[in-house]
Amino acid sequence: MTSGADLLRVEGLRITFSVLGGEVQAVNNANFRILPGKVTALVGESGSGKSAISQAVMGILPNVARVGGKILFNDPTTAAKPIDLLSLEREGEEIRGLRGTRISKIFQEPMTSLSPLHTIGNQISEVLKIHTDAEKAERRARTEELLGYVGFANPKRAYDMYPFELSGGMRQRAMIAMALICRPALLIADEPTTALDVTVQAQILKLLRELQVKLNMAMLLITHDLGVVANMADEVVVIYHGQIVEAGPVEAIFRNPQHPYLKGLMAAVPHFDMKPGERLKALREVPVKAGTLLGGSAADRRAGPDVLLSVHNVSKTYGTRKSSWFGGGESTLHRAVDDVSFDIRRGECLGLVGESGCGKTTVSKILMRAVTPDAGSVIFDNGEGPVDVLKAQGDDLQALRSKIQMVFQDPVSSLSPRMTVKNILSEPLEIHGRGTAKSRVETVRSLLQAVGLDQRFINRYPHSFSGGQRQRIGIARALALVPELLICDEPVSALDVSVQAQILNLLKDLQKELGLTCLFISHNLAVVDYMADRIAVMCAGRIVELAPREVLMRNPVHPYTKSLLAAVPYPDLDRQLDFDRLKDSEGSDMRRWGPQFRDDDAGDTLTAADLGGDHFVLARRSVDARELRP
Amino acid sequence: MLRYILWRIAAMVPTLLIISALVFTIIELPPGDYFESYVSEIKAQGEGVDMEQIEALRKEYGFDQPAALRYVYWLGGMLKGDFGYSFEYELPVSAVVGDRLWLTILVSFVTIIFTWLIAFPIGIYSATHQYSWGDYGLSLMGLIGIAIPNFMLALILMYFANIWFGISIGHLMDQKYLAEPMSWAKAKSILEHIWIPVIIVGAAGTAGMIRRLRANLLDELQKQYVVTARAKGLSPMRTLVKYPLRMALNFFISDIGSILPAIISGAEITAIVLSLETTGPMLIKALQSQDMYLAGSFLMFLAFLTVIGVLISDIALAILDPRIRLQGRSTK
């Protein structure tokens, strides 16, 4: 292929950032191409330099960056010779004339990428104002037309709306409209769906795919998610530590990966076809030596009643003031948790899946006594007699706290930056008055060993650890008091794929060796599928389906579960997302569920219907279990 | 929106009532009243006093009444526009203050405009050229401006104006115009004099505003939406003005509430040093001599300005920031 056929050629690209105390090489001698009308995926983990490349193409690198090499842009609409984007004057008219018209970009965070003080119509039509001679009325008309096309039901009204009045998915649609209004030859999408829920992600991917075909535009899709790559890309470029390690058509990359990093990455992603007992292969495996840690073998800890924690009809309502302080103060009630009941059995891992705002974190906070529910009860029974978690006081509560521990999502903010690892890990022991100062240090050492961290790190501060290492410290802290129930709230969603596999394996091994009981909360179905024995699916504050893992994955009954499963992009070329089906079964829209799953007409309440084999689904009381099967 | 403004105006009433009670209490706190200090002053000069006349005056102004009742009279009078009687000047308060109030407002207003005109370009320059020599130099000047008290600056300027130019700065106009009604000549004289106090009074405020504008703008310049605007192909200048500067304005508007009283009360010592015909020196004298109606009226005036300033800034914020205006309008 000649260079004339490539839309964009990156040749020998080097990007260095000057930072305090030297330079960091973000991209080192990168070479790749983007074909016109095709989707090229640039895959890499955080810090690999993929975003720096996209910024270099747009000429929007920060001031501290230094760039070398060439980025040749060959605009198909002009017959001119390819332009070297890097040779253009910084912020000069030439590069500005390309931005937004010929090359445009959408960003990861749709909340912060739009100005909160301007209407989306203003921000979108501004692109036309900069690059075309269109009159005001025409700009508005064209903007509204595109808003309608990207999925706004009422584009005339949407034009005058502010970003904070829109949901994350709608904001991203507005961003897409802004990027595409001048019909660019190249769209750079930098993690366009990472901040979105899985069902919304599927819709946005579908929209991007449709628009890309319709406008015959090339797309540079920057992502860390191999599932998104498999569903979207024609060509794949894999970047690792600033170097392109592999590039080629998507078929070759997925079916025959060559580079060890790519192979490792493929093996590190949890997917739904894993055989029972199959392990993820983390790029760097962490050996677990929990043996002597907690005193008493796993077998001892498995003795006791069958159900460790029992949650009955728990509800929590928050009042939100809908109107601002200009109008009346009528408040609406938001049911964060709505009549939720489930049991966690001794030694199992119960997965809790749901999209953002479904109430799963509120449930975990209720179990930790951080939030008091309006109604319901939570009974904890480890064989020493049942304890009501919500009513425990004084010594009972103190004892209970040591038995239920939590691992948090964000490994950065959940560790105090002013405490050493030793302080962090021995603090729970001090609070509960366990052991002497000397024995506590011994415990800290064995905790570090258990999570596979070097004991020499004991006097370091959290900032000197990577994200995965910090999360291991968080896990060690949760284990310090020898809990019986470990609540993991999105423990891997802030981590890269390769590190994610490492943490998941660690949790799995610890659970097995220590006989821990786990509540594993996540929005990622594949991760929950890998970890959990039984899975509960939450939607709008309610558990809509609860079943053993295989049953839920193979034979989901509730429309929401189905749509959730259908929306997950598989990192597998033979199982592409069915975009057409996504359209007619938008399961996140409650009004489109079958009548047997809805309670909008009065008189009939919803209850967990038993389908047999531990499979429960939320449906109307009057509906026969047989009718629920499709 | 209208409802909000009405509600806010209604909320001003109890605020001002509470302030008036506080002002009254504070003025009443020192032992004795104006007549006692007056009598002792005259006695100290060895002259006789007509105690009967004093008693009559006391009675006339209700000083024999309980404090609560006097408060009610005072408050009632103010509502009717009668601010009481200045014993020191033996004139109604409104006549004493008269011109001085307008001159004070004029000086304050010009100072605010001066502050904005200087602070805005410098703040923007500092933020967009962070860590450049220009930024360092302007920051140094700003810090000096914050550190030097106004009256000190006034003294220094007076000294050098005298040494170098042989002129005496001070006053707001030529003394011959003082008692005259407003005329073109008088206005011209005021304009000639006003810039010195404006620079002196505005120095610290300008420096502070530069610092705050710079800090706010630097925060905003890091935001993702600035990158979005650049990725659209917007020119750097228009990007700056339309997005980050617009966001940084919020702090600036909420500043209006505090800027009015700060300038008026901060200018008092400077006004004494420069012998300006503003209200500042008069307030301090009135407080010293327990001329309570005069002092009370001044303090109420300051309180009123503060409350009005806060109201203006709140309304302006609501108009300018859709998040405040519309938050809660149902989504989708």
What's the mean pLDDT when you consider all of chain B? Answer: 81
Query: Is residue B152 scored above 60 in pLDDT?
Result: yes
| Per-residue three-class SS string for A197-216 | CHHHHHHHHHHHHHHHHHCC
Q: Inter-chain contact A99–B231, Cβ cutoff 8 Å?
A: yes
For residue B322, list chain A residues with Cβ-Cβ distance below 8 A.
116-117, 119, 162, 164
pLDDT of residue A1: 41
The rounded percent of chain B whose pLDDT value lies above 70 is: 96
**pLDDT given at position A79:** 67
Task: State the pLDDT confidence band at A336, using cuts at 50, 70 and 90.
Answer: confident
Q: Is the same domain home to A167 and A206?
A: no
A-proximal residues of B, 199-228, CB under 8 Å: 223-225, 227-228
Nearest CB neighbour to A112, from listed B224, B229, B324: B224
B78-104 tens-digit pLDDT = 888 777 777 777 788 888 777 777 888
Q: B322 to chain A: nearest residue by CA?
A: A117
A103-106 sheet: strands from edge to edge: A103-106, A186-190, A218-223, A39-43, A235-240, A243-249
Give how many domains chain A has, as a whole number.
Answer: 2
Residue B146 tokens, joined: 């914050």
What pLDDT sits at residue B91?
80
What's the whole-number mean pLDDT along residues A491-519? 87
Residues with Cβ within 8 Å of A21's Cβ and at least 6 positions away in sequence, in order, are none
User: Where a domain ends, among A181, A213, A233?
Assistant: A181
Q: Is A321 on the interface with B (CB under 8 A)?
A: yes
Question: Is residue A14 a contact partner of residue A68, using CB atoms and an 8 Å limit?
Answer: yes
d(CA A183, CA A113): 20
Shared domain for A21 and A156, answered yes or no, is no
For residue A11, being part of any structural domain is answered with yes
SS3 A34: strand
Is A438 within a domain? Answer: no
Chain B's closest residue to A325, CA to CA, is B4
In this structure, the strands spanning B91-92 and A103-106 are unpaired
Q: Tell me which residue in B1, B232, B331 faces A127 most closely, judged by beta carbons.
A: B232
Q: Enumerate the residues of chain B whose CB falls inside 8 A of the CB of residue A112.
A: 223-225
**Residues A268 and A233 placed together within one structural domain of the fold:** yes
Say yes or no: ipTM exceeds 0.90: no
The yes-or-no verdict on residue A91 having pLDDT over 70 is yes
Chain B positions in Cβ-Cβ contact with residue A57 (cut-off 8 Å): none
Per-residue model confidence (pLDDT) at position A103:
93
In angstroms, how far is CA A220 from the centroid of its own chain?
Answer: 21
Regarding beta strands B85-86 and B91-92, do their DSSP bridges make them parallel or antiparallel, or are they unpaired? antiparallel
Chain B residues in contact with A323 (beta carbon < 8 A): 328
**Integer distance in angstroms from the first to the last C-alpha of chain B?**
21
- State the Cα–Cα distance between residues A511 and A488, nearest whole angstrom: 12
- What is the rounded CA–CA span in Å between residue A307 and residue A382? 8
CB-based contact (8 Å) between A591 and chain B? no
Q: Which of A108-112, A357-361, A599-603 has the lowest mean pLDDT?
A: A599-603
Nearest CA in chain B to A162: B322
* Residues A239, A112 within the same domain: no
Please report the pLDDT score of residue B289 as a whole number: 78
Which of A58, A104, A166 is opposite residue B331, by nearest beta carbon?
A: A166
Predicted confidence band at A249 (pLDDT cuts at 50, 70, 90)? very high
Tokens of A521: 């909360």
Q: Indicate if A217 and A251 belong to the same structural domain.
A: yes
Token output for A628: 């629920």
Whether chain B has a CB inside 8 Å of the CB on A147: the answer is no
Which chain A positions have a beta carbon within 8 Å of B243's beta carbon? 115, 118
Q: Predicted confidence band at A351 (pLDDT cuts at 50, 70, 90)?
A: very high
- Residue contact B224–A117, C-beta within 8 A: no
Distance (Å) of CA B132 to CA A149, A364, B54: 47, 50, 69
Which one of B5, B132, B228 would you mutate to disrupt binding with A, by most A Cβ within 10 Å of its Cβ?
B228
Structural domain B99-290, CATH architecture: Orthogonal Bundle (1.10)
pLDDT of amino acid B273:
82
Interface contact B322, partner A, CB < 8 A:
yes
A152 in contact with B at a CB cutoff of 8 Å? no
B129 touches chain A (CB under 8 A): no
Q: Which among B225, B231, B329 has CB closest to A112?
A: B225
When mean pLDDT is compared across A229-233, A241-245, B97-101, B146-150, the lowest value belongs to B97-101
Query: A252, exposed or middle or buried, with CB in 10 Å at 0-12, 13-18, 19+?
Result: middle
In a domain, A600, yes or no: no
Window 94-113 of A, Cβ < 8 Å to B:
96-101, 104-105, 107, 109, 112-113
Q: How far is A592 from chain B (nearest CA, A)?
A: 18
Q: pLDDT tens digits for B295-313? A: 888 888 888 888 888 888 8
The answer to the question of residue A237 being in a domain is yes
Between residues B282 and A235, the one the model is more confident about: A235
Among A212, A241, A272, residue at a domain's last position = A272
CB–CB of A162 and B331 under 8 A? no
With an 8 Å Cβ cutoff, is B319 touching chain A? no
One domain for residues A87 and A10: yes
Taking contacts as CB-CB distances below 8 angstroms, the residues of chain B near A118 are: 242-243
Cβ-defined contact of B331 to A326 (cutoff 8 Å): no
Q: Which two tokens stand for residue A198?
A: 């899985």
Least confident of A224-233, A331-340, A467-476, B240-249: A331-340
Determine whether the interchain pair B233/A127 forms a contact, defined as Cβ–Cβ distance below 8 Å. yes
Average pLDDT over residues A201-226: 91
Asked if residue A16 lies in contact with residue A25, where contact means CB atoms within 8 angstroms, the answer is yes
pLDDT at A235: 93
In a domain, A374, yes or no: no
Evaluate whether residue A256 is within a structural domain: yes
Mean pLDDT of chain A: 85
CA dist A360 and A537 (Å) reads 9
Instruction: Give dist(CA A197, CA A524) in Å, integer.
Output: 9
Q: Are residues A123 and A76 in the same domain?
A: no
CA distance A319 to A313: 20
Distance of alpha carbon A553 from alpha carbon A251, whole angstroms: 27
CA–CA distance, A374 with A315 (Å, rounded to integer): 6
Q: Look at residue A323 in the predicted model and tell me its pLDDT.
A: 46
Runs of H (alpha helix) within A215-367 = 226-232, 250-255, 260-268, 298-302, 360-367
Which of A105, A114, A166 lies nearest to residue B225, judging by beta carbons? A114
CA distance A507 to A501: 10
B233/A131 Cβ within 8 A: yes
Residue A176 sits in the same domain as residue A211: no
Minimal Cα–Cα distance from A115 to chain B, Å?
6
What pLDDT is attached to residue B330?
38
Q: Indicate if A118 and A173 belong to the same structural domain.
A: yes
pTM above 0.95, yes or no: no
pLDDT at A122: 94
Count other Cβ atoms within 10 Å, centred on residue A128: 22
Considering only CB atoms, A130 lies closest to which of B234, B243, B326, namely: B234
* Residue of B280 and A343 predicted with greater confidence: A343
Same domain, A13 and A83: yes
Task: Give me the helix-helix angle, B292-320 and B2-28, nearest 10°.
Answer: 160
Kindly state whether residues A246 and A198 are assigned to the same domain: yes
Contacts of B320 in chain A (CB under 8 A): 117
Q: Where are the domains of chain B?
A: 99-290
Chain A residue with minimum CA distance to B128: A63
| Residue in B228, B235, B323 nearest the CB of A116 | B323
Q: For residue range A264-302, what is the model confidence (pLDDT) as tens digits? A: 888 888 877 777 778 888 777 777 666 556 554 555 555
Put simply, the answer to whether A91 touches B4 (Cβ < 8 Å) is no
A439 in B contact zone (CB under 8 Å): no
Question: Do residue A36 and residue A169 come from a single domain?
Answer: no
- Given CB atoms, is A506 within the 8 Å cutoff of chain B? no
**pLDDT value for A518:** 93
Residue ending a domain, among A246, A272, A298, is: A272
Q: Are A40 and A220 in contact (CB under 8 A)?
A: yes
Q: Which residue did the predictor score with more confidence, A76 or A331?
A: A76
Q: Higher pLDDT residue, A45 or A119?
A: A119
Dihedral angle sign, alpha carbons of residues B222, B225, B230, B236: negative
Choice between A405 and B259, residue whose per-residue pLDDT is larger: A405
Q: Taking CB atoms and an 8 Å cutoff, what residues of chain B touch A131?
A: 233
CATH number at residue A190: 3.40.50.300
pLDDT band at A629 (very low <50, low <70, confident <90, very high): low
Find the domain containing A33 and state its range: 1-102+185-272
Q: What was the pLDDT predicted at B331?
A: 35
